[in-house]
Chains A and B, each alone.
Chain A
Amino acid sequence: MSLLLKLLAQRIALGLLLLFLVSILIFAGTLILPGDVAQQILGQSATPEALANLREELGVNDPPVQRYFDWLGGLVQGDLGTSLTSGKAITESIGRRLGNTLFLAFWAAIIAVPLAILLGLLAVRYRERWPDKMISAVTLASISVPEFLIAYVAIFFISVRLRWAPSVTTINDSMSLGEKLHTISIPIAVLTLVVLAHMMRMTRAAILNVMQSAYIETAELKGLRMFTIIWKHAFPNSIAPVVNVVMLNLAYLVVGVVVIEVVFTYPGMGQYLVDHVSKRDIPVVQACGLIFAAVYIGMNMIADIVSIVTNPRLRHPK
């Protein structure tokens, strides 16, 4: 067991190191962006006096290295800094947006992940027969169409024609959980369609791989039902690759849905980040970038850990 703990500690330390490197990359990236924050805040209506006044006030005249370490110092103490554009603490405004993003991702995942695995299992059970082909065709088609197109088509039929659910999914605190879920039902459906195929295909492929093994043949000879074999013997042994893909897709649901957010006017992190990039609000961009990186690294770490825990061969490396 202590070996496992050591492995976990190693993974986490590696994750933190990665995060640190990513923060440097993000900072360097934001420096390369053309234009400066004062110009972007004041827009076309900026006068040279106003620009100079604002630059001074925002402190963007300091050297970049100093700005970076100031920011890193604050971060270690749990302070993401203040937004250059609004002058407010980032932690607070980002918290609400992150909450919204996680809310959408959570409900999309709750539906998409079990559905994808179930469909994957069904596809294996009826391999090369019509259910398998149909599942493959539908999910591949839905992943091949750009997500904004699926979204627009869904809006046109479900929202404009049938009026079952709203197309503008701006949720707010005065809504009950039921109202919120109704409001975001179309984006959930679209996101489900987008992430389904990847997870389903991986489940199918991984299980099929295991299905060639001798112990599956033994189980078959014992006279077990096909679905029982798949669920009890094949699936546990193919969990590692499936978890990897599931985690990648979960990370996508958190960090990669900016297009869906724009189309459905959902107040999540993606739109928040884009707004601040275009205004050159570097502290916010960095905070968002870091959160996104943390989500990715965290999800991958979980996938690694699950793989290690479920696979005795990895738990006891030679």
Chain B
Amino acid sequence: MNNELKYLSRQAALGKLSRRTFLGRAGALGVSAAAANTMLSTAVHAAGPRKGGTLRIGLQGGSTTDSMDPALATNTVAVNLIRMWGEPLVELTDDGGLQGKVAESFEASADAKTWTFTVRNGITFSNGQSVTAEDVAATIDRHSGEDTKSGALGLLRDIKGVRADGRNVIIELNNGNADLPYLMSDYHLIIQPNGGKDAPDAAIGTGPYIMKEIDMGVRFVAEKNPDYWGDLGHAQTIEMLVINDNTARVAALQSGQVDIIDRVPPRTAGLVARAPNITVASTAGPGHYVFIAHTNTAPFDNPDLMMALKHGINRQEMVDKILFGYGSVGNDTPINAAYPMYQEIEQREYDPEKAAEYFKKSGHSGPVLLRTSDNSFPGAPDAAALFQQSLKAAGIELEIKREPNDGYWSEVWNSKPFCTSYWGGRSTQDQMFTTAYLSTADWNDTRFNNEQFDQLLIAARAELDQTKRKQMYADMGTMVRNESGLICPMFNDFIDAYTDKLGGWVEGVAGFSLMNGYAAQRMWVTA
């Protein structure tokens, strides 16, 4: 880069030169608009965060019926809101490791059965109260108690006891678990005064912002918490709008009413990115779209039929036509490179001949019934139709039944023997397997029942030797791939978009969309 350009981009970053002028001058120096934009965003980044201003964010997934109680959080809007006012004990780092939040440090006993978290010194809740170890213990108690409604309960079932000891919180487990700190990063487990037992939905926590206006499913306003201990939160005000309609959300970004949005539809992401002032950012994650069969129900209890179906799906075609390239091929396991202990397993390819062979061996005749709906994942009915075509080449007939969106999760998913669905993924292999593939799991939506797998899963939890542990997870992955009712054609990327009014986007942050839900706190308003 020549000196003049460097100078110009720094001027633009400092706000002394308008973006338009910069792009014009850069063009005059023979730099393409795309390159100049990249240059500018790099310079903006290098100039460092700018404090103040209002950051406006448009999100999908909120509903009037949501609650501010973190125990009841289920959607993206709730996750992003929780990140404003509250914090868990620990949080993921950008590359999927762990960092302390309310906990300053944490350590395990040698058998990983006893964990000690030390509460950060001198931090306060937004109501001025100091954070004590008792508050933390009460929080864990509230989410793991017998009568809780918390979505985190499943994760915490193995906890035997929690107690506060000075600034330390000591958690004792029935079985060793090397991943306990990962469980503590769950977004439900926000540290609240007295664990939120008195006022679960008061939105009082240790986060960088304080909620000012709350209109469920419509609009939220948060102001910077002046006493926040950490370095998050650059904008003075964050305004969050719930915009559930895809087209409306994209239009709001294009017309400058919001600065950043999530869930850009893959179909239109390419078009949105064409606008010079908009950046579309795609982040690989653990989320995946699935076709799931109950292997304890005929005809899916026939392993040869399952294998025929697994060989009869064209994964690359699905990535190209359903995700429009914003994703990667699956391998019939729920695990991909987004997981910390990932080890590669041989990729299964589309092979109609092999599929036909297995189908013949299975002795099954007649069509196979697949249920699908629009909300089981974006483009699910289309994916089902592609699956139908690719199976046809193997001489297998797939019958597709469209189900209504309404009631799909209670009436079809985890209830009917073969349907389309999705998983958001979890932060560790242990969590993902425990949630959906352990034989006793509530959401064992493939009815996977393998004693060896269950034993390996428990053993891997307490295994502190990373190499051995990695191998154990790879073995479990292979079992799921070959023996379960899971057909996983693709992992979907998160597609977010922001305008050039914002700086500070970081590529490839692990966790959820929008930089694991921290985009509003970590980005800043440049002008």
Chain B residues engaging chain A, CB cutoff 8 angstroms: 58, 63-65, 67, 72, 74-75, 146-151, 153-154, 213, 215-219, 241-245, 247-248, 251-252, 254-258, 406-407, 409-411, 413, 442-443
Q: Which 6 A-B pairs have the closest CB atoms?
A: A35-B410, A45-B151, A34-B407, A85-B65, A43-B74, A275-B64
In the assembly, what is the distance between CA of A163 and CA of B64, in Å?
29
Q: Is the CB of B409 within 8 A of A43?
A: yes
B146: nearest chain-A partner, CB-CB: A49
B252 surroundings in chain A (CB, below 8 A)? 166-168, 265
If the complex has contacts A42-B74, A160-B251, A263-B245, are A275 and B149 also in contact, measured as CB distance less than 8 A?
no
Q: How many A-B residue pairs have CB under 8 A?
A: 128
Q: How far is the CA of A39 from the CA of B414 in the complex (A)?
A: 13
Partner of A267, one of B67, B218, B256: B218
A277 at the interface (CB under 8 A from B): yes
Question: Would you call A311 an interface residue if the criterion is a C-beta within 8 Å of the partner chain's C-beta atoms?
Answer: no
Q: Are the CB atoms of B245 and A167 closer together than 8 Å?
A: no
- Is A53 part of the contact surface with B, judged by Cβ < 8 Å? yes
- A167-B252, A170-B219, A265-B242 are known; give 19 further A-B pairs, CB within 8 A: A33-B407, A35-B411, A39-B409, A42-B149, A44-B413, A45-B151, A47-B154, A47-B442, A50-B148, A86-B216, A155-B255, A159-B251, A163-B256, A167-B255, A262-B248, A263-B245, A265-B248, A276-B65, A279-B63
Cβ–Cβ < 8 Å partners of A33 in chain B: 406-407
B410: chain A residues at CB < 8 Å are 34-36, 39-40
Q: How far is the CB of B251 from chain A (nearest CB, A)?
A: 5
B242→A166 contact, CB < 8 A: no
Task: Flag if B407 contacts A35 (CB, 8 Å).
Answer: yes
Given A47-B154, A54-B149, are A168 and B65 neighbors across the interface (CB < 8 Å)?
A: no
Q: Which of B75, B149, B257 meets A50, CB within 8 Å?
A: B149
Q: Which residues of B contact A93 (CB under 8 A)?
A: 64
**How extensive is the interface on chain A, given as a class?**
35 or more
Hey, which chain B residues are within 8 Å of A34, CB to CB?
406-407, 410-411
Chain A interface secondary structure, helix, strand, loop or mixed?
helix
Task: Tell which of A40, A168, A276 touches B64, judged by Cβ atoms closer than 8 Å.
Answer: A276
CA distance A39 to B74 in the complex (A): 12
Partner of A172, one of B64, B146, B219: B219
Check A41 against B411 for contact (C-beta < 8 Å): no
CB distance from B59 to the nearest CB of A (A): 11
* Complex-state Cα separation, A264 to B65, whole angstroms: 19
Among A42, A163, A170, point to the contact of B255 (Cβ < 8 A): A163
User: What residues of chain A lie closer than 8 Å to B149, measured between beta carbons?
Assistant: 42, 50, 53-54, 57
Q: How many whole Å from B117's CB to the nearest CB in chain A?
A: 24
Q: Which of A135-163 contact B (CB under 8 A)?
A: 152, 155-156, 159-160, 163
**Using Cβ atoms and an 8 Å threshold, which residues of chain A touch B241?**
168, 170, 265
Contact partner of B72 (CB less than 8 A), chosen from A35, A41, A155, A170, is A41
Q: How far is the CA of A263 from the CA of B443 in the complex (A)?
A: 34
Contacts of A265 in B (CB 8 A): 241-245, 248, 252
Residue numbers in A under 8 Å from B64 (CB-CB)? 93, 271-272, 275-276
B414 to A, closest residue via Cβ: A44
Smallest CB gap from A34: residue in B: B407
Please give, as numbers and ranges, the residues of chain A lying within 8 Å of B63 by CB-CB distance: 275, 278-279
Known contacts A39-B409, A45-B74, A53-B149, A263 near B258 by CB under 8 Å: no
A44–B213 contact, CB under 8 A? no
Find out whether the CB atom of A47 lies under 8 angstroms from the CB atom of B257: no
Q: Provide the A71-86 mask, 1 if CB < 8 A to any CB of B, else 0.
A: 0000000000001011
**B65 near A48 (CB under 8 angstroms)?**
no
Is the pair B248, A155 in contact by a Cβ cutoff of 8 Å?
yes
A-side contacts of B215, CB under 8 Å:
172, 267
Indicate which residue in A48, A50, A264, A275 contacts B217 across the interface (CB closer than 8 Å): A275
Question: Do the beta carbons of B407 and A168 come within 8 Å of each other?
Answer: no
- Nearest CB of chain A from residue B419's CB, rounded to whole Å: 13
